[in-house]
Structure 1
Amino acid sequence: MLEKERQGVIWAIGAYLVWGVLPIYWKWLHNVPSDEIITSRVLWAFIFTLLFVLITRKTKLLIEDLMSLWQNQKAFWSLFFASALISGNWFLYIWAVNNNHLVETSLGYYINPLISVLLGIFFLKERLTTAQKIAFVIATIGVIILTISYGRFPWLAFSLAISFAIYGLMKKTIPLDAVRGLTIETLFIVPFAFIYYIYLFLSDRAVLFHDSFQTDVLLILTGAATAVPLVLFAKGAQQMPLYMIGFLQYIAPTCMLFLGVIIYGETFNPIDLLSFSLIWLALILFTVSKVMEARTRKLKLAKL
């Protein structure tokens, strides 16, 4: 059991490290407009995941998933909306990275778990412990200080956090295999991506096949860049406790923050440090309380 959990942790760390350094990949595509990158990402992610399903001989399961969704119209349209939502999240993320907003992007993914919990309270009637309530207050103070420092509300960070949190909430109500789920999600959006690519080619705005061979390869591999960390995460999540996943998820925004400040020279002044420190403190408090909660529940179950 411990060996299986250890392997799960390795897979999950791999996924979060890939997500954390992906901004470097998008920076390599700085000469490609964000709308074409997201169009390419949807198109090639669908092709890549569909090929993966075919190679692993899970086509029958994919068809069963589609039939099951169609029979449950609420789940079908919920997943369609979730697909549109994650596509919007991808677009914002890529635009932010290629317009030198990595620090604000990392902020968005730091506060995402806290917003997810708020959605859980409102929609799933989940309850918070005293420590978790204190964590929310501390994080809110950090965001308020950051907002005053910016002179504007950090809309980009919150747009990323809220869109991904709502996407996560909707996916929670529709249990699907990660790879087949992504195949279906991109299937919903791929017709729009295909039509938009036709428009780009007809209007001579397409970069694909009109730039360097390196750019073409990078655009085609956006599908793999999207699917590979998801596959790693799916393998990890199946073999480790949920609270451990919650703890490891901060690897990605930490990598983004490091890249933004150290590698790409984005500003990070003392006020930013104070605000982020409060948010980090809130996340540590929140995560520790979740770990203790999970262990208490596990002990209770062991006694039964």
Structure 2
Amino acid sequence: MKEQKKGILFGFIAYIFWGIIPIYWKLLPTVDPLDILCYRIVWSFVFMILYILITRRWSLFLAEVNVVLQDKKKLFAIICAAMLISVNWFTFIYTVSQGHVTQASLGYYINPLVNVLLATLILKEKLSRSGMISCGLALFGVLLLTIQTGEIPYAPLIMAVTFSFYGLIKKGITVSSYTGLTIETVVIMPIAVIYLVFFSRQGFMHYELSTNLLLMGAGIVTAIPLLLFAQAAKQISYIILGFIQYIGPTIMLLSALFLYHEPYSAEQFIAFGFIWLAIAVFTYGNIYTYRKEKRFAK
């Protein structure tokens, strides 16, 4: 239970980070979304290497890398994770840069539904009655939002599916979170460097000092929540992790409304109301189950 509490805490902090991260990308209006993605990859790698050196885990890191290189299945899984998170990052950055923070939040509202689906179908995790009710309410809210926009929300769906499968892979890989994330950045970093040096219209780090510093900081704001998420994924069920995720898009939605004044109708509010109700039902169900288990344990 102690590990589960720690996992829930890590999940909460990670999703709070992701909830406020659109504000960070909004500070880079002059940088192309694909460039931001590549800088995010490069500086994440630099940050991870510094993190491993400062925490004196270099020898452990090399030992784990050696194990991964000898295990083709594990290496393939990490490569797949790297590709999935890259697609997720680009879709998210592009959506936010186009002024659609509400759409970005919808992607991460859909994400927990995909998490629950994967958890029940692949991981064979049991869904409680409150969980089933929550899924039904959340699904209804998402369908209402889709109907209101009158089109299939491709960007939110891409974000939801890629991140759910990324999380599923991270849950199954038996390497430390820092090793897994560092290898992921190594896999995609050569492509990012080649693009920035040879193909970027803006050139490599050809910005004013404040923009360059923000691009360097992108590595930190990327790596920290991913480290926390990877740890949380190992310590709690994928269903619980999925519903904790609603923290992120809720913060995104609030920033879209009150910071960026994106249009928001009464119909959208009703649709999101079903999603918020789903979170409340799921939270109550988990608290009830926890108290019940605690009583039986005495």
TM superposition score normalised by structure 2:
0.88
Partner residue, 1:86: 85
5 Å-filtered alignment, 1:32-43, equals 32-43=31-42
Partner residue, 1:118: 117
The one-letter code matched in structure 1 to 2:283 is T
Are 1:19 and 2:18 counterparts? yes
Shift of 1:270: 0.8
Mean Cα deviation higher: 4-13 or 62-71: 4-13
Partner residue, 1:287: 283
| Gap runs ≥5 in structure 2 | none
Are 1:220 and 2:219 counterparts? no
- Superposition CA RMSD, Å: 2.9
Give CA-to-partner distance per residue, 1:204-252, whole Å, 9 cap, x none: x1354322121111112211121233455678x49x9768866654332
5 Å-filtered alignment, 1:222-241, equals 222-231=218-227, 237=232
Provide closer, same or farther for how the CA distance between residues 147 and 13 of structure 1 changes in structure 2, counting only shifts above 3 A. closer
Aligned length: 297
Shift of 1:119: 0.7
| Gap runs ≥5 in structure 1 | none
| Structure-2 separation of matches of 1:218 and 1:106 | 23
| Structure-2 separation of matches of 1:69 and 1:298 | 39
| Structure-1 separation of matches of 2:80 and 2:190 | 15
Give CA-to-partner distance per residue, 1:10-38, whole Å, 9 cap, x none: 76654433322111110111111111000
Given that residues 45 and 224 in structure 1 are in contact (C-alpha distance below 8 angstroms), is that contact kept between their aligned partners in structure 2?
yes
Mean Cα deviation higher: 136-145 or 282-291: 282-291
Provide closer, same or farther for how the CA distance between residues 13 and 148 of structure 1 changes in structure 2, counting only shifts above 3 A. closer
Provide closer, same or farther for how the CA distance between residues 12 and 123 of structure 1 changes in structure 2, counting only shifts above 3 A. closer
Partner residue, 1:95: 94
TM superposition score normalised by structure 1:
0.87
Give CA-to-partner distance per residue, 1:80-135, whole Å, 9 cap, x none: 01110001101111111111111121122122122101011221222322332222
| Structure-2 separation of matches of 1:232 and 1:74 | 24
Mean Cα deviation higher: 84-93 or 189-198: 189-198
Given that residues 208 and 219 in structure 1 are in contact (C-alpha distance below 8 angstroms), is that contact kept between their aligned partners in structure 2?
no
| Structure-1 separation of matches of 2:132 and 2:61 | 41
Partner residue, 1:154: 153
Given that residues 179 and 230 in structure 1 are in contact (C-alpha distance below 8 angstroms), is that contact kept between their aligned partners in structure 2?
no
Mean Cα deviation higher: 288-297 or 70-79: 288-297
